[in-house]
Structure 1
Amino acid sequence: MAGIGKKRVKRRTHLKDDPAREASIPKSMVVRAGASEVGKSLSLLTRDLRHMMEPHTAVRLKERKANKLKDYLTMTGPLGVSHLMVLSRSDANANLRIVRAPRGPALHFRIHEYMLNKDVRKLQKTPKSPNAEFLTPPLLVMNHFNTKSSKETPHEALLTATFQNMFPPLSLQSTNINSVKRVLLLNKRDDGYIDLRHYLITTKPVGVSRPIKRLLKGQKHPSDLPDLSGVRDISDFVLHGEGMSGVPSDSEAEEDATVEVLRPTPTKIEEKLLSESQLLKPKQQAIKLIEIGPRLTLELTKVTEEAMGGKVLYHSHVQKSEDEVRQLDKFHEENRYLKEKRKREQEQNVHRKQDKKKKKSKKNQPSDEHSGSEASEGGEEETAEGHTADV
């Protein structure tokens, strides 16, 4: 038992986090370049993107106007951040940069169209507000993306790998399918534009009458229980559906959206309402996707080798000849050599200053001891003179 005044700690039910597993999970950070200069709509888009990247992202991150990209890249190492999403605005349009922290490469996108979460909800007849769905990462679905590069499209493999590495991999052996609550869809069109959509996964039982569906739904949410004040017996509601409209609602799922899953242990209400044959059959559920936003239409414009500038690996609007490519490669090689040379010189200067400081401190140590001994002798003479004066 815990002592009086001590906090009780759970030792049997508390699961300790695995450091190796935590380090393998990719983490992201969504920031604005020039926090107060991007505008209100782009600031709201930043907030929506942070919710989309949950739970492994900094949701409550506060930027300052003076913060630069270099400041965020410096903090990615101590915080364990693997990807950095930077939103900025130019005179013509909005831009998105995805950086593999801390060194690169960096993918530059032009945002042609975007829609916020609140605008998506306004278009829906019965919008659904997410609750606990953001406690787990979304399921990434990519369409028309190439995993192999070619001479014409050398950036395809890098583009695909960047999006895949932004989310933790899904293992069918260890991942609980019931924990997957969201879907992030990336569709690459024929013109090269990328459509981003964010959906919420909802399931409904199939093969069960609508009155029983209402009762099963009311078990989880008591506010959804049907009003049986006008029914004399529960059998009239279950068998004949009295008090309910015979027309199916708009939210009823289509037949081609049904899947079969293993039936879990039935509840007491299911045992009473369902027959034995229904309990033995696999449980059929209808899957429906509800869009929660945001929407983005992206165009890949440039891929750079480093996080801040560096060699341009791909450009959608500028084509270089072979001679120009060789000249640029030579230029970047010279810059890389000069950068490494300056780094070595700085390290040598630091070591030289440290050695000089150590030698100086060693020289001062004997003089300090000698001065201390002289001070002690002077003190003894003063005490002797004081004794003679007293006599």
Structure 2
Amino acid sequence: MARFRNKKKKMPVDTRAVKKRPSVDHLTGEKIPKSFVFSRGKLPGSLKQLELDLRKVMLPHTALKLKENRRNNLKDFLNVAGPMGVTHFLILSKPKTVPHLRVARTPQGPTLTFEIQEYALAADVARAQTRPRCPQGIFNNSPLIVLSGFGSGGQHLKLTTIMFQNIFPAIDINTVNLSSCQRIFLLNYNTETKLIDFRHYSIRLQPIGVSRRIRKFVLSHNVPDLRSLQDVSDFVTKAGYGSESEADEESATVSLANDLGRVNRASTKSAVKLQEIGPRMTLRLVKIEEGLCSGGVIFSEYVKDTEASQGSHEDDKQATAEEETEAD
């Protein structure tokens, strides 16, 4: 008797993580960008953790619990991305010795390919700090994106700028709630080395012009121990003011808006501090393709002439096929 193999339906993503988020901004009326972060081929444990860290960077409009299967190919993710409104793919791979990160616009491209020269996980960044800070609530809103050094380059840097500007929701400076801006996503391009520094920070407001004890009391919301004091005024006057030099600089202080004043009740002025939460990467842009991980090569770092670009495109197609074969 013939045996029929039971084929399970491929489901590469946990749809609940994306469906619960709105697709259109109720204030601007524009479509909210959403993303999938996944890998192709086999990755070592450190790169798998980097994949999870990148998903946190892309929160809240991404699938944090994206389910991948070795049998899934790029079409499987693309078929699910359309109905769910996913606009961008971030794909990690390691075809040879250097890990690659591809950032693609769905469904028709373009695709930017980066070599990951160096990287550090969020856990590594936290271990290097005396007082790591990463509140869970800061991932409830998208980060602010800051691009530096991309204006002096060629057409490929302009395309890179457009890609990353559209990967997060646009903000309206007239209606944005400043208390929701708690993260910064920074890309800095070095024109001499042609390397891009990828950084991820949390924004912290520190009251200035008040004693250290008052500041600590307001930020921690804990009842202070007053048993050793004769009067409550001693609690206010005994501790000196902040000793950090940055907080005393005029350029490092801002006057708080009304919505931020409710968050930082100690003072109307505050020092804005950035604390890295990771991950961090050093990237090199090596290729831009017209389509989704395919198509003509618009830019190549190592191949300049047209004929060589076409040959490089054939090599890239072969490398992609090898990744798919390895994943199967």
> Which structure dedicates a bigger proportion of its chain to helix?
1
**Equivalent residue for 2:160?**
159
Matches within 5 A, 1:110-125: 110-125=115-130
Instruction: Kindly indicate whether the alpha-carbon contact (under 8 Å) linking 1:133 and 1:181 is maintained by their aligned counterparts in 2.
Output: yes
Q: 1:174 to 1:266 in 2, by over 3 A?
A: closer
- 1:59 aligns with one of 58, 64, 68: 64
Counterpart check, 1:257 vs 2:252? yes
Paired letter, 1:44: Q
**Larger deviation, residues 249-258 vs 190-199:** 249-258
**Equivalent residue for 1:210?**
212
Aligned residues: 287
Identity of aligned residues (%): 40
SS at match of 1:113: strand
Q: 1:24 to 1:216 in 2, by over 3 A?
A: same
Counterpart check, 1:233 vs 2:218? no
Matches within 5 A, 1:43-192: 43-146=48-151, 153-190=154-191, 191-192=193-194
**Equivalent residue for 1:291?**
276
SS at match of 2:136: coil
Gaps in structure 1 of 5+ consecutive residues: 1-15, 333-391
Q: What is the CA distance between 1:146 and its match in structure 2?
A: 2.3
Counterpart check, 1:28 vs 2:42? no
Paired letter, 1:193: L
Q: 1:230 to 1:20 in 2, by over 3 A?
A: closer
RMSD of Structure 2 on Structure 1 (CA): 2.9
Q: 1:185 to 1:304 in 2, by over 3 A?
A: same
Q: Give the whole-Å Cα distance in 2 for the aligned partners of 1:237 and 1:186.
A: 44
Instruction: Kindly indicate whether the alpha-carbon contact (under 8 Å) linking 1:95 and 1:108 is maintained by their aligned counterparts in 2.
Output: yes
Asked which structure has the greater CA Rg, the reply is 1
Q: Give the whole-Å Cα distance in 2 for the aligned partners of 1:182 and 1:286.
A: 16
Q: What is the CA distance between 1:261 and its match in structure 2?
A: 2.2
Instruction: Kindly indicate whether the alpha-carbon contact (under 8 Å) linking 2:88 and 2:103 is maintained by their aligned counterparts in 1.
Output: yes
- State the 4+ residue runs in structure 1 displaced beyond 3 angstroms: 16-23, 246-254, 262-267
- TM-score w.r.t. length of structure 2: 0.79
Q: What is the CA distance between 1:177 and its match in structure 2?
A: 1.1
SS at match of 1:132: helix
Matches within 5 A, 1:4-43: 19=24, 21=26, 24-34=31-41, 37-43=42-48
**Larger deviation, residues 137-146 vs 247-256:** 247-256
SS at match of 1:29: strand
Q: What is the CA distance between 1:23 and its match in structure 2?
A: 6.3
Instruction: Kindly indicate whether the alpha-carbon contact (under 8 Å) linking 1:74 and 1:102 is maintained by their aligned counterparts in 2.
Output: no
Q: What is the CA distance between 1:178 and its match in structure 2?
A: 1.4
Q: Give the whole-Å Cα distance in 2 for the aligned partners of 1:127 and 1:209.
A: 23
Q: Which has the higher contact order (CA 8 A, sep 6+)?
A: 2
Q: 1:248 to 1:25 in 2, by over 3 A?
A: same
Q: Give the whole-Å Cα distance in 1 for the aligned partners of 2:245 and 2:132.
A: 11
- TM-score w.r.t. length of structure 1: 0.67
Q: 1:17 to 1:320 in 2, by over 3 A?
A: closer
CA deviations on 1:214-269 (whole Å, 9 max, x unpaired) are 33234xx22xx432221121112223x1xx5x5856697452311112456989xx
**Equivalent residue for 1:309?**
294
CA deviations on 1:276-334 (whole Å, 9 max, x unpaired) are xx8xxxx211111010000011100011111132111110001215xx48x96xx99xx
**Equivalent residue for 1:200?**
202
Instruction: Kindly indicate whether the alpha-carbon contact (under 8 Å) linking 1:214 and 1:226 is maintained by their aligned counterparts in 2.
Output: no
Gaps in structure 2 of 5+ consecutive residues: 1-20, 315-328
Q: What is the CA distance between 1:52 and its match in structure 2?
A: 0.5
Q: What is the CA distance between 1:211 and its match in structure 2?
A: 3.1
Paired letter, 1:25: I
